[in-house]
Copies of this chain bind each other. A is one copy, B any other.
Amino acid sequence: SHYRLSDSTRTGHSSFSPRTHACAELRPKDVGEEVTLCGWVQYRRHDLFVILRDFSGLVQLLIPQDESLVHLKSSLCGLPLESVVKVTGEVIHRPPGQENKAMATGAIEVSVRSLEVLNECKQLPFEIKDCVKKSESLRMQYRYLDLRSPQMQSNLRLRSQLVMKMREYLCNIHGFIDVETPTLFKRTPGGAREFLVPSREPGRFYSLPQSPQQFKQLLMVAGLDRYFQVARCYRDEGSKPDRQPEFTQVDIEMSFVDQMGIQTLVEGLIQHCWPEKMGPVSLPFPSLTYAEAMREYGVDKPDTRFGMKLVDVTEALYGTEVGFLRDAVTHPEGCVQAICVPGGAKHLQNKDLEFIRQTAKTHFNQELSLVVLKADGSWKSPLSKHLPDSVKQQLLQKTHAEAGDLLLLAAGAAERVRPLLGKVRLQCAELLEAQGVAVRDPSAFHFLWVVDFPLFLPREEDPEQLESAHHPFTAPHPDDTHLLYSQPDKVRSQHYDLVLNGSEIGGGSIRIHRASMQQYVLENVLKEDASLLSHLMEALDSGAPPHGGIALGLDRLVAIMVGAPSIRDVIAFPKSFRGHDLMSGAPDFASEAELRPYHISVNLPAEDRGVRGN
């Protein structure tokens, strides 16, 4: 039962290895076999048992108690936890009554006959099993210990398997080519969030791109037909929560395809890579237009695992005398929107309600009216005495609100009121869940397409000017193309977002493939200097096929799948909140000699100069 490491016919997890099995593979069918295992000493019980761990899980070793093997016993009992050993022994049944049903290998144990200590563990900053309870920074500093936890092992393994399945689908089933595109590239005009990389030519810099957008389009112009890449992308955002300076997207582009084609491809991709144990994915994914999503959920990435949709109650309030409501219903663009939080009156505390009210104030500078529907059906609300019963009845009817529910009302312009209620809707779900109310099924995965986005939006700094809602290469919706030249603000795009449980996990579009239209968009609509993209315009004029694609955010997708609170839990070596690698101490100071070849020098802020003496 001992293998040569160079046995080329063996496959599986133990090929090329002295072990015969992975620890967690052993079962009663292996009883009687002599096995060799390699792993870490997880813990020890009463000098009788050692629990051995490897990537696959745990197995119990029986420490021999007979006199002839006393050296073996003393070695095993003297080993510090987390030491690395190779053991050989016989698989035996556990004595009746001593089986551990919670353990995959709990019916057997390995009676140790020989031991080789491969590396003794000398020091640990903390006990491995408590690792997850440690501070985030300690976990990051000793990431190689943190990664020994079953959860992190399983996250990284699932990620690897998921990507492998995606590749099989794209490459083997649908004829895509995996093409690597450069990460040392030219700065995008206005690309404020791109890292710079100094070159050895004075004053010249590469830039780390935020996505392979230009390259994927050029590959279509090149006739590659179907491209994909699991692409490393970069974004310098300082410290936004749960963002990483480098992240991974599954980047896809096809020629001769329309929006439905890309969406169907992606649905098939998700279905193909979805782990069986996580239940089936049913196709096609539901779809909402941007307008519908905003109207019903107040957000363009709705969490459709629960209701509490926005309800327009403007009509019910046409005759109202309440000042702020009347202002809203009489204003041409005003409205009153409501959501009903089922059980909200019953389960939410006063401080929860205050928190919701504060959100409206601080994030949206808006008033939110709360109606607590008491158990007896009576209204607890400042509005109560100002609304006639008939109006109250209408409100209850339209929102399907009942005794014990909470009703939230906001009045004003739709584009202000809806995002407010969209945010509050999510907060209510969280607050209810914190009270133990089941709002969203944690094992449910709700995919959703959001389509028909506007192609352009008013610029924040100058609302008379338009900017691209996504990027300037997005094609207009075929039904709206004629509007591009007359009312560009009315044009819908062929952009689509893929949303999972309320998070955007992908976005893409059909691209403009004619240079004349691209030029018109850049110069006439966006008022940008098209010459900065002259190589792309030339490319479109040299026989560009119709094309489109999508990019899926792999880190986010995997994080949602494994239920991780942060994408840091599905990345082997993530950066901290402030963009630091806490293990190695990156980023770090560079000496003048190291900067010299790049013709740059550091301008330290005044207060730092004394300290660093540069």
Q: Which residues of A contact B (CB under 8 A)?
A: 4-8, 11-13, 15-19, 38, 40, 53-55, 82-84, 86, 118-119, 121-124, 142-148, 153, 156-157, 159-161, 163-164, 167, 171-175, 177-187, 192, 195-208, 214-215, 218-219, 221-226, 232, 234, 236, 238, 245-246, 248, 254-258, 260-265, 267-268, 283-284, 513-515, 535, 538-546, 571-573, 575, 579, 581, 583-590, 594-595, 598-605, 608, 612, 614
A248 CA to B180 CA, complexed, in Å: 9
A sample of 18 inter-chain contacts (CB < 8 A) reads A4-B260, A8-B268, A11-B174, A12-B175, A16-B264, A53-B223, A121-B542, A122-B542, A144-B221, A160-B171, A185-B586, A186-B585, A192-B594, A195-B198, A197-B208, A202-B608, A205-B587, A218-B573
Return chain B residues, CB-CB under 8 Å to A605.
202, 599
Return chain B residues, CB-CB under 8 Å to A541.
121-123
Residues A144 and B539 in contact, CB atoms below 8 Å apart: yes
A539 CA to B283 CA, complexed, in Å: 46
Are A222 and B283 also in contact (CB < 8 A) when A515-B122, A588-B186 are? no
Max chain B C-beta neighbours (<10 A), residue from A5, A17, A195, A222: A222
A151 CA to B323 CA, complexed, in Å: 74
A234 CA to B6 CA, complexed, in Å: 32
A543 CA to B161 CA, complexed, in Å: 27
Determine how close the nearest CB of chain B comes to the CB of A440; give it in whole angstroms.
Answer: 28
A262 CA to B546 CA, complexed, in Å: 46
Return chain B residues, CB-CB under 8 Å to A234.
184
Determine how close the nearest CB of chain B comes to the CB of A27; give it in whole angstroms.
Answer: 18
5 extra interface residue pairs, beta carbon distance < 8 Å, beyond A180-B248, A186-B588, A202-B604: A19-B256, A144-B218, A164-B178, A184-B587, A599-B602
Residues A143 and B199 in contact, CB atoms below 8 Å apart: no
Give A182's nearest chain B residue, CB to CB. B573
Determine how close the nearest CB of chain B comes to the CB of A605; give it in whole angstroms.
Answer: 6
A541 CA to B579 CA, complexed, in Å: 27
Are A246 and B119 also in contact (CB < 8 A) when A124-B542, A144-B542 are? no
Residues A586 and B186 in contact, CB atoms below 8 Å apart: yes
A144 CA to B179 CA, complexed, in Å: 13
Are A197 and B199 also in contact (CB < 8 A) when A55-B224, A257-B16 are? no
Determine how close the nearest CB of chain B comes to the CB of A466; give it in whole angstroms.
Answer: 24
Contact of A13 among B123, B185, B225, B587 (CB under 8 A): B225
Give A255's nearest chain B residue, CB to CB. B38
Return chain B residues, CB-CB under 8 Å to A18.
256
Determine how close the nearest CB of chain B comes to the CB of A219; give it in whole angstroms.
Answer: 7
Residues A588 and B539 in contact, CB atoms below 8 Å apart: no
Residues B264 and A7 in contact, CB atoms below 8 Å apart: yes
Are A178 and B198 also in contact (CB < 8 A) when A19-B256, A587-B206, A603-B600 are? no
Return chain B residues, CB-CB under 8 Å to A256.
17-19, 38, 86, 118
Return chain B residues, CB-CB under 8 Å to A119.
513-514, 540, 543-546
Residues B542 and A182 in contact, CB atoms below 8 Å apart: no
Return chain B residues, CB-CB under 8 Å to A164.
167, 171-172, 178
Return chain B residues, CB-CB under 8 Å to A7.
264
Give A163's nearest chain B residue, CB to CB. B178
Give A53's nearest chain B residue, CB to CB. B223
Return chain B residues, CB-CB under 8 Å to A122.
515, 541-542
Determine how close the nearest CB of chain B comes to the CB of A96; give it in whole angstroms.
Answer: 33
Return chain B residues, CB-CB under 8 Å to A118.
256, 513, 545-546
Across chains A and B, which 3 residue pairs bring their CB atoms closest together, nearest first? A147-B222, A5-B261, A186-B586
A18 CA to B543 CA, complexed, in Å: 18
Give A258's nearest chain B residue, CB to CB. B5
A603 CA to B592 CA, complexed, in Å: 12
Contact of A147 among B148, B223, B584 (CB under 8 A): B223
Determine how close the nearest CB of chain B comes to the CB of A348; give it in whole angstroms.
Answer: 41
Contact of A603 among B4, B283, B515, B599 (CB under 8 A): B599
Give A55's nearest chain B residue, CB to CB. B225
Determine how close the nearest CB of chain B comes to the CB of A512; give it in whole angstroms.
Answer: 11
A12 CA to B12 CA, complexed, in Å: 30
Are A40 and B223 also in contact (CB < 8 A) when A261-B17, A588-B205 are? yes
Residues B258 and A204 in contact, CB atoms below 8 Å apart: no
Determine how close the nearest CB of chain B comes to the CB of A26; give it in whole angstroms.
Answer: 16
Max chain B C-beta neighbours (<10 A), residue from A8, A121, A157, A573: A573
Determine how close the nearest CB of chain B comes to the CB of A338; give it in whole angstroms.
Answer: 37
Return chain B residues, CB-CB under 8 Å to A156.
177, 179, 224
Return chain B residues, CB-CB under 8 Å to A16.
174, 254, 257, 261-262, 264-265
Residues A538 and B196 in contact, CB atoms below 8 Å apart: no
A459 CA to B185 CA, complexed, in Å: 36
Determine how close the nearest CB of chain B comes to the CB of A274; give it in whole angstroms.
Answer: 15
Give A608's nearest chain B residue, CB to CB. B202
Return chain B residues, CB-CB under 8 Å to A180.
232, 248, 571-572
Max chain B C-beta neighbours (<10 A), residue from A145, A148, A572: A572
Residues A145 and B82 in contact, CB atoms below 8 Å apart: no
